[in-house]
Amino acid sequence: MKALLSHEPGPPETLRLTDVPEPTPGPGDLLVRVRACAINYPDVLIIEDKYQFKPPRPFAPGGEIAGEVIGVGEGVADWQVGDRIIAVTGHGGLAEVVTVPSKMAYHLPAGRRFEEGAALLLTYATSIHALYDRGKLAAGQSLLVLGAAGGVGLAAIELGKAKGARVVAAVSGEEKAQAAREAGADEAIVYPRGPFDRDGQKALSELFKGAVGPNGADVIYDPVGGDYAEPALRAIAWEGRYLVVGFPAGIPKLPLNLTLLKSCDVCGVFWGAFAARDPKANAAHVAELFRLWEAGQINPKVSATYPLERAGEAITAMANRQAIGKLVVTL
């Protein structure tokens, strides 16, 4: 079988399509023929050894997949050959065949395409954990979403609307603003690209404040970081919750006097650790996502697909913050 492997740390151009032996499922595992693998920002980091997990090389990136079960390991119940599956793998998904622990797998609902199935779990599970558990978002509250046209951003918009919140989407271009509006955002604002000097940060803060209104944003969802973080925090409401989701624009340093003045919380969001520590709560979230999906309240947006041999191009587009919604590699 073929896999797109990282043999040494480096950019997507260092990935090589390689013939490798097909894996064998161990006890509790499923053997899965991959039909689609979504690309996420951790794929940008993991191949350069900048992610919190560093798998032994060579390895294939690709953290979430959809496919068909072609083998069942010893002790596995509720799965059989031919079942359609979605799963978060962490890495390894850019391969024709993978093994997946059955306890981490979910049945892909009937009528759903592999591409959209691969685009569901990581972004929506991250966002539902962020908004429901860490942000405690409630109906009638206001939600500011930075990087709102990316995978987690669009998921946050849809889940915020499902909760009954007023959602303000902040993006870096008009095409992305339109995608945010189509996802249900009540308002979309376009901010300039950083980095910013102090005057630029002040202007950005005023842009955020004008969009969320005089009372500020009850919840701020930040998968961007960098120079966008402090201006957003200055637009938070009294006792608001600032959700730290990711740092493609860089790791910010926040002035903690702002948290005192607004009596607000800065909350880290690490979905992978949450899912490992509390699998029952995560499974309940996934069940809720399936319900919302069936009801049409969420809908994973796949903006582009790539064949396996061009998966590096998808990772490059993700690194350059060009993606709207999800980019998916099809096999």
- pLDDT given for residue 322 in this prediction: 85
pTM of the model: 0.94
Q: Which residues, in sequence order, are bridge partners of residue 3?
A: 18, 95
Nearest to 48 by CA among 83, 10, 85: 10
Domains of the chain: 2-120+300-330 (3.90.180.10), 122-272 (3.40.50.720)
At 307, the amino acid letter reads P
The mean pLDDT of the chain is 96
pLDDT digits (tens, 9 = 90+) for 195-204: 999 999 999 9
Say if residues 224 and 246 touch (Cβ distance below 8 Å): yes
- Does pLDDT of 321 surpass 90? no
Torsion of CA 106, 107, 112, 115, to 10 degrees: 50
Mean pLDDT across 38-43 = 95
At 38, which amino acid appears? A
SS3 content of the chain, % helix, strand, coil (to 5): 35, 25, 40
Q: Residue 186 in 3-state DSSP? A: coil
Q: What is the pLDDT of residues 209-264, one digit of tens each?
A: 999 999 999 999 999 999 999 999 999 999 999 999 999 989 999 999 999 999 99
Is 59 in a helix, a strand, or coil? strand
